[in-house]
Chain A
């Protein structure tokens, strides 16, 4: 199939047996709603266009509470508003799939190419960022990680994000759609959290969910259980892509669509005999820090070049993950603009030449 990234996500949600989408228009994610609202009635699925992103997020949580597989999609200022319902989902351990097609910022800014919502998507809200975020780099990944997000969200009960961008959303490229069962992927069904079977008080206790606590220790105990669960799932969930050889002296570090350009640049440079590897986190939260530290520890001389379409958002994560490691850090920070394979190649050639 040859289609846009937004269309891919609508098909992926359908294949994942999503029951309901709640959404509010904002570019560049609109066509997810367009395709979904066209498909939904033919497959017995639901759609509600809400009054804003606060409502899109909270209505989605309502659907999740009564046992439906629900999702929403947004971008930029809409992502800011959605941090409020995401915070409630973190506290109450409500699953759900949140698709973010990043746009330029701050403010309304632009709608095509940006990675400036990394920090917001991974650690936004008034909490600890207990969420799972997949940063995709191709339409095939948009499809497969959207499917995966539905499973991971309902398995671990943390808010789960597919982090794309306007470029992936609007670009057309080939993708192979498939039914998960045909590949042996078992899709986890949703269960009602509230209003499950049984008469409350007669056949079961009523379920009362809250997010307000009377004393600090009560919150601490609840939250630390979530933190422990999150730390336990981390090794099961983290994903990354890397190619680094023992004699490489430079490691390109990038995620998402920029990660794709970085991988492309590294492969081209390697073919030309340059000692350049690449590391691309697929889960940007939880971050594959252990994998990156292993690479850094294997060669303390290995220099890292962090490339992103933001002014240091991935960089700050990399710095925190490599605290105590002496590997030199270089950057190519291009907030809100595209980063091409050629630009990365040129930066590498310049850096290596200067040093070499």
Chain B
């Protein structure tokens, strides 16, 4: 993008309704056109705005495409190593419980190289909010198979399609976490295909930390047209059709104080 284009773009951005917690100086953001991260991070930004916690948030992002959000927000942030965002945020939260800790990562970071950290933080009930974007592959490194790659899906390392007998079936992260997290945890799966619902989930996940109830985890079904090699229509179809039918969107665990009833 040329300097002139950028200034036109910035002019447009000035008049857009961006979350207060978005850092305008770093917009337009660095994600590819059609990427789901921008939508997920807009929902997160609006959730932070609505809760009025800009001055309490500590945001950590992983390595992979999520690293591009290192200066995305107006709150303090740290870019960590691949898979290590949860421990950094857990360490901060343990040392300073007043901080609202958000760990943002992709499916490789949370379900493969950092799976032990997700499992352990969930099991311990660490009072942090972990958000994981699931786009069914490793995007930054060139579209390799991830734990979430769908059966038959072609990736750079499954060029003939993922064969579950050889490389396993897609991991259902929220279901895994829900099975081990203690009472008081909030666990949900949203989709960038349903923005308002996703924002509600992220808001509840942050509220769960604000009340000190327990661990919070939201998987966000996201889109990667660059590595899926899809146009807009195909991208939408893959997300809302294939992904959402394989990975069920909804709340898996809602603590009592949020439902007013018994934990499901």
B73 an interface residue at 8 Å Cβ cutoff? yes
B75 an interface residue at 8 Å Cβ cutoff? yes
Chain B binding site: helix, strand, loop or mixed by DSSP?
mixed
Least distance between B58 CB and chain A CB atoms (Å)? 5
B1 an interface residue at 8 Å Cβ cutoff? no
B67 an interface residue at 8 Å Cβ cutoff? yes
When the two chains form their complex, are residues A210 and B87 in contact, meaning their CB atoms are under 8 A apart?
A: no
Residue of A48, A66, A198 with most chain B CB atoms under a 10 A cut-off: A66
- Known contacts A51-B116, A200-B54; A211 and B91 CB within 8 A of each other: no
A68 an interface residue at 8 Å Cβ cutoff? yes
Least distance between A82 CB and chain B CB atoms (Å)? 12
When the two chains form their complex, are residues A62 and B87 in contact, meaning their CB atoms are under 8 A apart?
A: yes
Least distance between B20 CB and chain A CB atoms (Å)? 8
- Known contacts A50-B120, A199-B54, A206-B73; A19 and B95 CB within 8 A of each other: yes
- A253-292 vs B, CB cutoff 8 Å, 1 = contact: the mask equals 0000000000000000000000000000000000000000
Neighbour of A209 across the interface among B23, B79, B89, B94, CB < 8 A: B79
When the two chains form their complex, are residues A62 and B76 in contact, meaning their CB atoms are under 8 A apart?
A: no
Neighbour of B90 across the interface among A54, A62, A210, CB < 8 A: A62
When the two chains form their complex, are residues A20 and B95 in contact, meaning their CB atoms are under 8 A apart?
A: yes
Tell me the bound Cα distance from A70 to B94 in angstroms: 11
Tell me the bound Cα distance from A59 to B117 in angstroms: 10
B10 an interface residue at 8 Å Cβ cutoff? no
When the two chains form their complex, are residues B99 and A66 in contact, meaning their CB atoms are under 8 A apart?
A: yes
When the two chains form their complex, are residues B71 and A194 in contact, meaning their CB atoms are under 8 A apart?
A: no
Neighbour of B88 across the interface among A61, A198, A206, A210, CB < 8 A: A61
Neighbour of A66 across the interface among B77, B79, B96, CB < 8 A: B96
- Known contacts A58-B84, A63-B91; A195 and B120 CB within 8 A of each other: no
Least distance between A156 CB and chain B CB atoms (Å)? 20
Residue of B58, B70, B73, B87 with most chain A CB atoms under a 10 A cut-off: B87
Chain A binding site: helix, strand, loop or mixed by DSSP?
mixed
When the two chains form their complex, are residues A55 and B87 in contact, meaning their CB atoms are under 8 A apart?
A: yes
Neighbour of B67 across the interface among A60, A61, A200, A212, CB < 8 A: A212
Residues of A within 8 A of B23 (CB): 206
B14 an interface residue at 8 Å Cβ cutoff? no
Tell me the bound Cα distance from A65 to B76 in angstroms: 10
B93 an interface residue at 8 Å Cβ cutoff? yes
A201 an interface residue at 8 Å Cβ cutoff? yes
Residues of A within 8 A of B55 (CB): 198-200
Contacting B at CB under 8 A, from A40-84, are 46, 48, 50-52, 54-55, 58-63, 65-68, 70, 84
When the two chains form their complex, are residues B54 and A211 in contact, meaning their CB atoms are under 8 A apart?
A: no
Residues of B within 8 A of A65 (CB): 58, 78, 88, 91-92
Neighbour of B80 across the interface among A51, A88, A200, CB < 8 A: A88
Residues of B within 8 A of A61 (CB): 88, 91
A353 an interface residue at 8 Å Cβ cutoff? no
A183 an interface residue at 8 Å Cβ cutoff? no
When the two chains form their complex, are residues A62 and B120 in contact, meaning their CB atoms are under 8 A apart?
A: no
- B91-113 vs A, CB cutoff 8 Å, 1 = contact: the mask equals 11111100100000000000000
When the two chains form their complex, are residues A66 and B58 in contact, meaning their CB atoms are under 8 A apart?
A: yes
Residues of A within 8 A of B56 (CB): 195
Tell me the bound Cα distance from A210 to B91 in angstroms: 18
Tell me the bound Cα distance from A55 to B94 in angstroms: 13
When the two chains form their complex, are residues A62 and B91 in contact, meaning their CB atoms are under 8 A apart?
A: yes
When the two chains form their complex, are residues B116 and A62 in contact, meaning their CB atoms are under 8 A apart?
A: no
Residues of A within 8 A of B95 (CB): 19-20, 46, 62-63, 66, 68, 70
Residues of A within 8 A of B78 (CB): 65, 92, 194, 208-210
* Residue of A with least CB distance to B69: A208
- A183-226 vs B, CB cutoff 8 Å, 1 = contact: the mask equals 00000000000110011110000111111100000000000000
Tell me the bound Cα distance from A181 to B22 in angstroms: 46
Tell me the bound Cα distance from A48 to B84 in angstroms: 16
* Residue of B with least CB distance to A199: B55
Tell me the bound Cα distance from A207 to B77 in angstroms: 6
B81 an interface residue at 8 Å Cβ cutoff? yes
When the two chains form their complex, are residues A206 and B87 in contact, meaning their CB atoms are under 8 A apart?
A: no
Tell me the bound Cα distance from A84 to B81 in angstroms: 8
B74 an interface residue at 8 Å Cβ cutoff? yes
Tell me the bound Cα distance from A331 to B81 in angstroms: 40
B206 an interface residue at 8 Å Cβ cutoff? no
- New contact pairs (20) apart from A54-B117, A62-B93, CB-CB < 8 Å: A19-B95, A22-B91, A51-B120, A59-B90, A61-B91, A62-B95, A63-B91, A63-B92, A63-B96, A66-B58, A70-B95, A84-B81, A88-B80, A88-B84, A194-B77, A194-B92, A195-B56, A195-B92, A210-B70, A212-B63
Query: 23 A-B Cβ contacts within 8 A?
Result: A19-B95, A46-B94, A51-B117, A51-B119, A54-B117, A55-B90, A55-B120, A59-B90, A59-B94, A62-B60, A62-B89, A62-B93, A62-B94, A63-B96, A194-B78, A195-B56, A198-B55, A200-B75, A206-B23, A206-B76, A208-B70, A208-B71, A212-B63
